[in-house]
Amino acid sequence: MKAYKNMTKEELQQLQKELSKAFEDVKGKGLKLDMSRGKPSQEQLDLSMGVLDMISSETNCKAEDGVDCRNYGDMEGIPEAKKLMADMMDTKPENVIVCGNASLTVMFDTVSRSMTHGVCGSTPWCKLDKVKFLCPVPGYDRHFAITEYFGIEMINIPMSESGPDMDMVEEYVSKDASIKGIWCVPKYSNPQGVSYSDETVRRMAALKPAAEDFRIYWDNAYVVHHIYEEEDKQAKLLDILSECEKAGNPDMVYEFASTSKVTFSGGGISAVAASPKNMEYIKKSMTIQTIGHDKLNQLRHVRYLKDLEGIKAHMMKQAASIRPKFQAVLEALDRELSGLEIGTWISPLGGYFISFEALEGCAKAIVAKCKEAGVVMTGAGATYPYKKDPKDSNIRIAPTFPTAEELKMATEIFIICVKLVSVEKLLEAK
Amino acid sequence: MKAYKNMTKEELQQLQKELSKAFEDVKGKGLKLDMSRGKPSQEQLDLSMGVLDMISSETNCKAEDGVDCRNYGDMEGIPEAKKLMADMMDTKPENVIVCGNASLTVMFDTVSRSMTHGVCGSTPWCKLDKVKFLCPVPGYDRHFAITEYFGIEMINIPMSESGPDMDMVEEYVSKDASIKGIWCVPKYSNPQGVSYSDETVRRMAALKPAAEDFRIYWDNAYVVHHIYEEEDKQAKLLDILSECEKAGNPDMVYEFASTSKVTFSGGGISAVAASPKNMEYIKKSMTIQTIGHDKLNQLRHVRYLKDLEGIKAHMMKQAASIRPKFQAVLEALDRELSGLEIGTWISPLGGYFISFEALEGCAKAIVAKCKEAGVVMTGAGATYPYKKDPKDSNIRIAPTFPTAEELKMATEIFIICVKLVSVEKLLEAK
């Protein structure tokens, strides 16, 4: 196929005419499709219904330490849930606190605590003139929303296929004591599906921060969320806690994970993992904040998932459900856009998204066109701090929630819009 | 019976001898009893096992608005759970957000948010030199722990049988703009079991605070937790939200409640209620903190409890379970201590505690003696800010968790210790 940029003005005008016609045709169908949401589909949720049978009036509700999960107690989580989440996060149970439904809340609370009380004895951030976070981009909008909410200045760090630009990260972190954190989704990153290379993880663990209260916010949201079988081996992520320990930085990281996309987004369990010193500091605050998280739900989850092997087997069912959707989108992009040089994308091995890089200055227009034709995409810019994509080129595609049929139509429309907006952009320059 | 204070030195010495003997006898039994914890007993927890059957792989998981409770969504809670919690709190569903397992967390988060972001646009408290809370005493140790954790200065307000000393409250609140809140357990207060009179509630609602960001923290923890049947009528609490509205102070209160002691302390649901303006401000923060609370557990609770009538019927079963325990303690106190003038107590109509006022300077010694004899009581002072009971006289008795037999023994020992310590105190003065 001929790259659009090599086309003559006349060729582009002819193409624009055809694409406009195609666009008006699909628009005329009055569709209502949604590729915006990183939500599991009904089929995926159905896979976990067994969780709901694990506790009933016929079962006992005792944890293995004898604690009655119906009552107060075990603020750190029941032992078997600590073990399960530790296994999932590739760390030790004593490094883990099992929390409530959402790891996002644990992250928010971690930043909030640093604002009011500092980090392991440092000055509370609310007393500082300036607090900054590094934000690998494109990234997860809800991370950026937390730091923005607390008035923390965010600095973009470009992502490559092996993770964030570590030269930049090292430079910033070692020189600027106002930099207190970096947001990371180290495996199957949101939205690109990039997994950090061993070198990236090791350089991350070996950072020499100017700020004693600098922490890596390691959101391992997709730690077991492979799309293909056996892909785990290719995308195996080093354990950040032990790498930090080896590098002499045992306290430099908080790791977060949850079962939101393993079992139920509306009723899962989450966890935070960190060094003993960090744990002690977290517990000082958490013990004021709660008498304990929902232990019955922890028990349900352990009884259903059992152990790491159980989680892996379960996630292969999830993979089987979402793989055809990812493949459908990727095949359509390949078929329709390869060689046109109007967009790039990475084929992810896991996670929940496909990240599309349009021509510079086209993302907002493409998303707007899609909306006009009845397809909701994640807002352009959402993957950047302050919702500002400096190149206006990144679009996040979320293939999991729609049905296969809806997804097929939505992808077709998305491709028409990408082509049409790109042609118009190129014509502007002629 | 003769009051101890009217006894001669010789009579007291004789009594001391007898009591010391009785003390050594019970101590010799090597008992391990616990009257310290405001926890439901196993029997009480068994009453709610039906909750666990409400959702299984055989049931649907749809809320009445069509939302799939297994998935993301409905950050404010599913509509039927909002209605249930609103009914329980005697307010409207639109004033309610249903949250996770613990209302304590919602209270902590409310104070934390005020620290970092202020209240509806006021200066964040962390930027102020001084923030103070009024604390009716004796009160709930975990409230005081929250304000202490955030460095908020706490001022004791004496409780009477109709609630906090409102003259003092009005004086402080109207004159000192650094006073930003008051902790209240308005019904069956912890630990005294006092319910605020209509006059108290109305005066509370009509406060004219010097600080625009002053709020009443209305922890309605025991709103439906009657010990006797039909006691609800006697202890009927005015709805603070509508009283505040009537008094022209619609935004002056946050109300909290949970099912921790209705169903499961380790797996219930909680809620916060407030005016539309407060709600809007809370949601701004909460929408950053979470995508949604555990909706499956909300659904379980609504399907089981159904409505206010369902809650009331359920709470009568709870009452039947704990009533004999309260009665056993109260009867023993009456029988053994009436007329001795070495302690006072209020017979509560609901809640989880009996509050005992020993002779001044005796509480710590009594609790220590109990411990020596194998009975754990709540630490003396725990019911006061900074754990400092200025008179060292308040002891909180928690009768719900032990079995009837354990409770009987523990109460006997407690009474021996009260008598012995009181005698020794009086002898010191002779």
Cα nearest neighbour of A113 on chain B: B112
DSSP B258-278: ESTTTS-TTS--EEEE--HHH
pLDDT for residue B281: 97
Confidence of residue A231 (pLDDT cuts 50, 70, 90): low
Question: Cβ B101–A50 below 8 Å, yes or no?
Answer: no
The answer to whether residue B62 neighbours chain A at the CB level (below 8 Å) is no
The stretch A365-384 carries a mean pLDDT of 97
Confidence of residue A234 (pLDDT cuts 50, 70, 90): low
A33-34/A375-376 β-pairing: parallel
Instruction: Assess contact for A363 and A202: CB atoms under 8 A.
Output: no
pLDDT (0 to 100) of residue B236: 85
For residue range A121-144, list pLDDT tens digits in order. Answer: 999 999 999 999 999 999 999 999
* C-beta separation of A117 from A285 below 8 A: yes
Between the alpha carbon of residue A4 and those of residues A1, A17, A393, A421, A423, the distances in Å are 9, 14, 17, 12, 7
Contact B288 A56 (CB under 8 A): no
Average pLDDT, chain A: 96
User: B124: cis peptide before it, omega within 30°?
Assistant: no
Output phi, psi for B302, to 5 deg. -70, -40
Q: What is the pLDDT, as a whole number, of residue B234?
A: 60
Instruction: Work out the pLDDT band at B9, boundaries 50, 70, 90.
Output: very high
Strands (E), A304-414: 343-345, 354-358, 375-376, 394-397
| Cis amide leading into B93 (omega within 30) | no
Q: Is A71 within 8 Å of B266 when comparing Cβ atoms?
A: yes
**Residue A69 to residue A80: CA distance in whole angstroms:** 12
- CB proximity A72 to B under 8 Å: yes
For the record, the structure tokens of A408 come out as 């097929």
Instruction: Report whether pLDDT(B104) > 90.
Output: yes
Instruction: For residue B1, name the pLDDT band (cuts at 50, 70, 90).
Output: confident
Q: Does B291 touch chain A (CB under 8 A)?
A: yes
CB-CB neighbors (< 8 A) of A53 in chain B: 56-57
Beta-bridge mates of residue A68? A62
**Cβ–Cβ pairs < 8 A, chains A and B:** 169
CB contact under 8 A, A72 and B297: no
Count CA within 13 A, CB hemisphere, residue B50. Answer: 12
Tell if the CB–CB gap between A108 and B290 is shorter than 8 Å. yes
Contacts of A165 (CB under 8 A, 6+ apart): A157, A158, A159
pLDDT score, position B366: 98
Among residues A186, A222, A180, which one has the least CA distance to residue A204? A186
Is B101 close to A292, i.e. CB distance below 8 A?
yes
A50 burial via Cβ count (<10 Å: 0-12, 13-18, 19+): middle
pLDDT of residue B230: 66
Tally of CB atoms within 10 A around A427: 15
Q: Give the C-alpha separation, B375 to B393, whole Å.
A: 18
The verdict on a CB contact (< 8 Å) between B57 and A50 is: yes
**Residue B341 gets which letter from DSSP?**
-
Taking only the tens place, the pLDDT of each residue in A191-216 is: 999 999 999 999 999 999 999 999 99
> Which residue's structure tokens are 């009453």?
B47
Question: Residue B40, preceding bond cis, omega within 30 degrees?
Answer: no
Residue B240: alpha-carbon gap to chain centroid: 17
Phi, psi of B150 (to 5 degrees): -90, 10
Which pair of structure tokens corresponds to residue A421?
């907006």
- Give the rounded percent of residues in chain A with a pLDDT score beyond 70: 99
User: Per residue, what are the HEC states of B100-129?
Assistant: CCCHHHHHHHHHHHHHHHCCCCCCCHHHCC
Task: DSSP letter for A20, please.
Answer: H
The answer, for A50 touching chain B at a CB cutoff of 8 Å, is yes
Q: How far is A145 from chain B (nearest CA, A)?
A: 6
- Subunit contact A112:B108, Cβ cutoff 8 A: no
3-class SS of residue B153: strand
d(CA B226, CA B319): 6
CA B189 → CA A321, B140, B332, distances in Å? 52, 8, 22
What would the mean pLDDT of A117-121 be, rounded to a whole number? 97
Q: What is the mean pLDDT of residues A186-190?
A: 97
Band of residue B232 on the pLDDT scale cut at 50, 70, 90? low
User: Does the structure show a pLDDT above 70 at A330?
Assistant: yes
Distance (Å) of CA B50 to CA A56, B80, B206, B420 = 8, 18, 42, 46
State the pTM of this model: 0.97
In whole angstroms, what is the distance from residue A355 CA to residue A394 CA? 7
Q: At A114, which helix (H) or strand (E)?
A: helix A103-117
Structure-token match 């009768």, residue found: B399
Q: CB-based contact (8 Å) between B386 and chain A? A: no
Q: Which residues of B touch A288 (CB under 8 A)?
A: 108, 142, 145-146, 149
Strands B163-164 and B179-184: unpaired
Instruction: Reply yes or no on whether the pLDDT at A235 is more than 90.
Output: no
The structure tokens listed for B372 are 């020596």
The mean pLDDT of B101-128, rounded to a whole number, is: 97
pLDDT score for B226: 94
Cα separation values, B101 from A21, A40, A104, A296, B214, Å: 54, 24, 16, 10, 27
Q: What residue type is assigned to position A350 of the chain?
A: G
The Cα A301–Cα A51 span in angstroms is: 6
Looking at chain B, which residue has its C-alpha nearest residue A143?
B288
**What confidence score (pLDDT) does residue B233 get?**
59
The DSSP call for residue B77 is -
d(CA B91, CA B82) in angstroms, rounded, equals: 10
Determine whether the interchain pair B291/A56 forms a contact, defined as Cβ–Cβ distance below 8 Å: no
pLDDT in tens, B255-264: 999 999 999 9
Enumerate residues 6+ apart whose C-beta is below 8 A from A109.
A285, A289, B289
What is the distance between the alpha carbons of residues A88 and A221, in angstroms, rounded to a whole number? 11
Residue range A75-83: mean pLDDT, rounded:
98
Q: What is the pLDDT of residues A248-286, one digit of tens each?
A: 999 999 999 999 999 999 999 999 999 999 999 999 999
pLDDT at B231 > cutoff 60? no
- The verdict on a CB contact (< 8 Å) between A53 and B48 is no
In the three-class reduction of DSSP (H, G, I as helix; E, B as strand; rest coil), residue A152 is classed as: coil
What confidence tens digit (pLDDT) does each residue in B131-172 have? 999 999 999 999 999 999 999 999 999 999 999 999 999 999
Q: Report helix angle A9-28 to A404-429, nearest 10.
A: 150
Q: Percent of chain B beyond pLDDT 70?
A: 99
Which residue in B45, B50, B57 is closest to A71 by CB distance?
A: B45
Q: What's the average model confidence in pLDDT over B350-355? A: 96
**Chain position carrying tokens 């008035």:** A151
Cα B280 from chain centroid (whole Å) = 27
The pLDDT, as a whole number, for residue A1 is: 77
Q: What pLDDT, on the 0 to 100 scale, is given for residue A302?
A: 98
**Contact between B303 and A111 (Cβ < 8 Å):** no
pLDDT-derived band at B406, boundaries 50, 70, 90: very high
Chain A, residues 151-210, CB within 8 A of chain B, namely: none
Run of H or E including B358: strand B354-358
SS3 A358: strand
